[in-house]
């Protein structure tokens, strides 16, 4: 073995070891962060709003007669299917899925909702079309080729459900919150809740904390809102009290 080949082998082995150490450290930190997440239990959370608990994340469904609008789709389709069955909800009756962003724990159950139109923000598309990576070489992806893009402050109606899309970037470039029927605000991972107050998103997972904090102003003056629903930190039924805080 000549010296050049030997050096290449040593360099390659060193790089592999370093990558393994970095990934190992990342996984340990991730497990630690997930343990601190406090999600709501599966059930009817408020009138006509249902929650499904999927390990460390919640997805939500808003009832409209015999149809439903979902906010995110959870991580594990098996767990989500079991939650739907427990609630007596037919996944074929879900006619829309509003994605707050494209991380795997929010899009994993999409395959269950074959009759649903999938919505996400225009700025989030870069996370799934190969333009921007989530982590190192890993891209987010959707189990759906067709989806509808939404702009900031765009209003749509699905059946009798009124929806306003609000860009709240930071956690991801295209994180979007949804104001539903003027009273329920779903923020995904854009914000958390701590001691009943809106809190910054999880620092370990957040892409741009400065932008995330700036996005807080987008949700602080919404008349008529009663509830705030988060993906990993439960909910508040007192919007005015929850937003009476400062994010720094």
Q: What is the pLDDT of residue 130?
A: 82
Residue 184 is part of which domain span? 38-242
Residue 16 lies in a domain: no
Residue 52 lies in a domain: yes
User: Are 229 and 60 spatial neighbours (Cβ–Cβ below 8 Å)?
Assistant: yes
Whole-number Cα distances in Å, 168 to 1, 224, 237, 241: 57, 19, 21, 20
pLDDT tens by residue, 194-224 = 999 999 998 867 779 999 999 999 999 999 9
DSSP character for 165? E
pTM, full prediction: 0.86
Residue 47 lies in a domain: yes
Domain count along the chain: 1
Query: Residue 131's pLDDT band (boundaries 50, 70, 90)?
Result: confident
Question: Percent of the chain beyond pLDDT 90?
Answer: 75
Query: Mean pLDDT in the chain?
Result: 88
Q: What is the pLDDT of residue 90?
A: 98
Residue 79 lies in a domain: yes
Residue 53 lies in a domain: yes
CATH number of the domain to which 94 belongs: 3.60.15.10
Residue 26 lies in a domain: no
Residue 5 lies in a domain: no
Residue 229 lies in a domain: yes
Say whether pLDDT at 34 is over 80: no
């Amino acid at each position: 073995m000549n010296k050049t080949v030997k050096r290449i082998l040593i360099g390659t082995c060193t790089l592999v070891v370093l990558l393994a150490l970095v990934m190992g450290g990342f996984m340990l930190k991730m497990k630690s962060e997930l343990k601190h997440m406090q999600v709501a239990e599966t059930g009817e959370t408020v009138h006509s709003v249902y929650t499904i608990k999927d390990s460390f994340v919640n997805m939500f469904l808003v009832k409209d007669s015999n149809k439903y609008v979902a906010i995110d789709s959870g991580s594990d389709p098996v767990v989500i299917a079991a939650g739907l069955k427990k609630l007596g909800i037919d996944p074929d009756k879900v006619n829309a899925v509003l994605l707050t962003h494209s991380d795997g724990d929010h899009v994993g159950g999409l395959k269950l909702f074959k009759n649903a139109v999938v919505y996400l923000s225009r700025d989030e598309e870069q996370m799934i079309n190969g333009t921007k990576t989530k982590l190192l070489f890993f891209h987010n992806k959707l189990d759906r080729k067709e989806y509808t893009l939404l702009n900031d402050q765009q209003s749509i109606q699905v059946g009798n459900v009124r929806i306003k899309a609000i860009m709240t970037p930071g956690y991801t470039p295209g994180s979007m919150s949804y104001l539903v029927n003027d009273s329920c605000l779903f923020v995904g991972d854009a914000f958390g809740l701590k001691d009943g107050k809106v809190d910054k998103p999880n620092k370990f997972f957040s892409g741009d904390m400065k932008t995330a904090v700036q996005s807080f102003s987008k949700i602080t003056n919404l008349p008529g809102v009663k509830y705030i629903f988060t993906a990993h930190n439960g909910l508040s039924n007192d919007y005015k009290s929850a937003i009476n805080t400062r994010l720094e």
